[in-house]
Amino acid sequence: MTAPLGTLSELRAQLDARKVSSRELVDAALARAAALEPVLHAFVGVQPERARADADAADARRARGETRSPLDGIPVAIKDNMVQAGEATTCGSRILAGFIAPYDATVVTRLRAAGAVIVGRTNLDEFAMGSSTENSAHGPSRNPWDPACTPGGSSGGSAAVVAAGVVPLALGSDTGGSIRQPASCTGIAGMKPTYGRVSRYGLVAFASSLDQIGTFTRTAADCATALAVLAGHDPHDSTSLPEPVPAWSKALTGDVSGLVIGLPREYFVEDGVDPAVLASVRESVAELERAGAKTREVSLPHTKYAIATYYLIAPAEASSNLARYDGVRYGHRAKGARDLGDMYRRSRSEGFGPEVKRRILLGTYVLSAGYYDAYYKKAQQVRTLLRRDFEAAFAGCDVILTPTAPETAFRLGEKAQDPLRMYLSDVYTVSANLAGIPGLSIPCGFSKGLPVGLQLLGKPLDEATLLRVADAYQRRTDWHARRPPEPA
Amino acid sequence: MSRITREEVERVATLARLSLTGDEAARMTGQLDAILDYVALLQSVDTTGVEPTSHAVPLRTPLREDRAVPGLAPDLGLSNAPEREGTAFVVPRVLEGEEH
């Protein structure tokens, strides 16, 4: 078995010191990916030829002293819902079987311009709808800490490959927690930036007012490095923010003295939370206090309505976005349809899996005549109240700290038959999407051998404070340095 | 009392261009009923006079120079077509129940 790869900053230092070549790193990543695939089932596809050619080009640049960015020559993976010209994109769905993307997503363009080497595309719940990867048409991915457990979802494949040391960086997308919850389940750092920070051009749409691309890395410092490459306005995405991208790495001072951390009382209730998770998160608060941070209780009074709000708004937007899969221009087309309507119905019914159908039905229902005001409009109004909760709370603190998920990684199959129970996995994460604010999960302990995550939530556009707090914590603790056991 | 009936689920499926098998319709009805029962929680929130949020970030309209740029080439745009003829996507006949 090829040894796990180091962090992004470790690999950068090795490349710069000429101790290793990009080609060697990419070969190692591909070898490790292949060796672990029977256990983790984390990749939908790998791109060895293209990756090796890109690595050789990166090595040639380095030899000429033309290294483009801290990511130049670094092997990375992307979630299989971001398009890449000439490569299959499935979104974990049968309806996109055989689809070859005709263009690059902006994040792919940016990664490539920075010299990063994409080695493969990772597994996800179908159209990013789920919290375990069990909704993937390719079958579930597994958690490197315990293959009987989920790596979380929907970006579970990306989380698993970073946790297992296949690549030091992978991209995910987060609509209700799909980066932060898997990061928590696998013991790594997962960042959902402010809505609009990273262009969504070429990210296959799930719920457009909530979707945001972000990163999986082992450390907060690596996250700062990678995010700087991805963020910034994109003329192809009118919702991408025009605000300048700060030099996040410079924000990592290690100093949190005087910083005020808000602890929302609604997130620290005993009900429905694993006590071991709460204990680890409380201990992380004590550690940050020892580092000089101040803490105070804050209130986010509408928290208990967040999941209900989310599961009205997200399916409503999804039912509209997924109307495009009709068998006409791309994707699966049913054979032998008697007319156009029959083709639509049969193509969609054959192509979509049960969770996607469930959400399309729910979304169509809540948008339909007679129910719109009672469900959809009501949810949008409560969304306003949730947003105001954060505005009020941030008037009295710099950052909010919570558990990322109510429990550690659960066993595959445990919730697969109960959609509502699965939805409650997102209880601590959906509010950030509804409010559009940034959120970062980092590991803060273990319970029965499985990682526990803490979540930092920030003011809009204030990823810098999240990264500074997370980095300061990681300088004082070693949870992020723990590695899952190597498979036998 | 159930919040959604099987007939309503089938009507919504028609709107969403999905056809459900008998088993699927029964299972979906039960699951959607449980979800709608849960989200009914929102009805207890007083939202009088609260503006709905459709987007968390106030959206501006970014303008760009009015200059022609190349789009997706027709062949590339058609490259995933299940069936094509020249530069057109071919579909089955549009009107239901008519013969060719």
DSSP designation for A143: B
B41/A308 touch (CB, cutoff 8 Å), yes or no = yes
CA distance to partner chain B, nearest, from residue A451 (Å): 30
Q: Which residues in chain A touch residue B9, judged by CB atoms under 8 angstroms apart?
A: 361
Q: Are A216 and A189 within 8 A, CB to CB?
A: yes
Termini Cα distance of chain B: 48
B17/A312 touch (CB, cutoff 8 Å), yes or no = no
Which residue from A minimizes the CA distance to B77?
A102
CA distance to partner chain B, nearest, from residue A346 (Å): 7
Q: Which residues of A are catalytically annotated?
A: 79, 154, 178
Listed residue (A64, A68, A62, A65) closest to A25, CA to CA: A62
CA distances from A268 to A401, A456, A481 (A): 10, 14, 26
A340/B54 touch (CB, cutoff 8 Å), yes or no = no
d(Cα A412, Cα A147) in Å, to the nearest integer? 9
Q: Where are the beta strands (DSSP E) in A56-114?
A: 75-79
Residues A1-23: pLDDT tens digits? 899 999 999 999 999 999 999 99
Residues A84-109: pLDDT tens digits? 999 999 999 999 999 999 999 999 99
Helix runs in chain B, H state only: 6-15, 22-39, 74-77
Residues of chain A with pLDDT under 70: none
Inform me whether the pLDDT recorded for B1 exceeds 80. no
Q: Are A192 and A159 within 8 A, CB to CB?
A: no
Inform me whether the pLDDT recorded for B62 exceeds 90. no
Domain extents in chain B = 6-41
Q: Which residues in chain A touch residue B24, judged by CB atoms under 8 angstroms apart?
A: 354, 357
Q: Position A23: which residue type?
A: R
| Cis check: omega of the bond before A154, within 30 degrees of 0 | yes
Residues B4-44: pLDDT tens digits? 999 999 999 999 999 999 999 999 999 999 999 999 999 99
Listed residue (A338, A248, A327, A264) closest to A300, CA to CA: A264
Q: Which residues in chain A touch residue B55, judged by CB atoms under 8 angstroms apart?
A: 209, 239, 436
Query: What pLDDT was estimated at residue A117?
Result: 98
Q: Which residues in chain A touch residue B45, judged by CB atoms under 8 angstroms apart?
A: 302, 305, 378, 381-382, 385
Complex prediction ipTM: 0.94
Q: What is the number of other CB atoms lying within 10 angstroms of the CB of residue B7?
A: 10
Q: List the domains of chain A with CATH numbers.
A: 1-488 (3.90.1300.10)
Listed residue (A301, A304, A229) closest to A72, CA to CA: A229
> Any idea which architecture B6-41 has in CATH?
Orthogonal Bundle (1.10)
Query: What pLDDT was estimated at residue B100?
Result: 46
Q: Which residues in chain A touch residue B82, judged by CB atoms under 8 angstroms apart?
A: 327-328, 330-333
- Pick from B20, B36, B50: CB nearest A385: B50
Mean pLDDT of B46-69: 89
d(Cα A61, Cα A83) in Å, to the nearest integer? 26
CA A237 to chain centre: 19
Please report, rounded to a whole number, the percentage of residues in chain B having pLDDT higher than 90.
76
Q: Which residues in chain A touch residue B38, judged by CB atoms under 8 angstroms apart?
A: 307-308, 311, 420
CA distance to partner chain A, nearest, from residue B1 (Å): 18
* Token pair 């109307």: residue: A323
B17/A348 touch (CB, cutoff 8 Å), yes or no = yes
Would an 8 Å CB–CB cutoff place B53 in contact with chain A?
Answer: yes
B93/A319 touch (CB, cutoff 8 Å), yes or no = no
Would an 8 Å CB–CB cutoff place B68 in contact with chain A?
Answer: no
- Pick from B18, B43, B81: CB nearest A360: B18
CA A442 to chain centre: 12
Which of the residues A361, A382, A387, A417 would you substitute to probe the B interface, choosing the one with the greatest number of B C-beta atoms within 10 Å? A361
B22's tokens: 């008998």
Query: What pLDDT was estimated at residue A421?
Result: 86
A308/B95 touch (CB, cutoff 8 Å), yes or no = no
A:B CB pairs within 8 Å: 176
Count the helix, strand and coil residues of chain B and give each as a percent rounded to the nearest 5: 35, 5, 60
Would an 8 Å CB–CB cutoff place B75 in contact with chain A?
Answer: no
Q: Are A9 and A219 within 8 A, CB to CB?
A: yes
Query: What pLDDT was estimated at residue B92?
Result: 93
Task: Provide the residue count of chain B.
Answer: 100
CA distance to partner chain B, nearest, from residue A28 (Å): 34
CA distance to partner chain B, nearest, from residue A160 (Å): 30
DSSP designation for B50: P
Listed residue (A369, A363, A374) closest to B41, CA to CA: A374
CA distances from B17 to A135, A449, B37 (A): 21, 46, 25
Termini Cα distance of chain A: 10
The conformational region for residue B86 under phi > 0 = left, psi -120 to 50 = alpha, else beta, is left
State the Cα angle at A212 between A207 and A217, rounded to 5°: 140
Q: Which residues in chain A touch residue B17, judged by CB atoms under 8 angstroms apart?
A: 323, 326, 341, 344-345, 348
A235/B94 touch (CB, cutoff 8 Å), yes or no = no
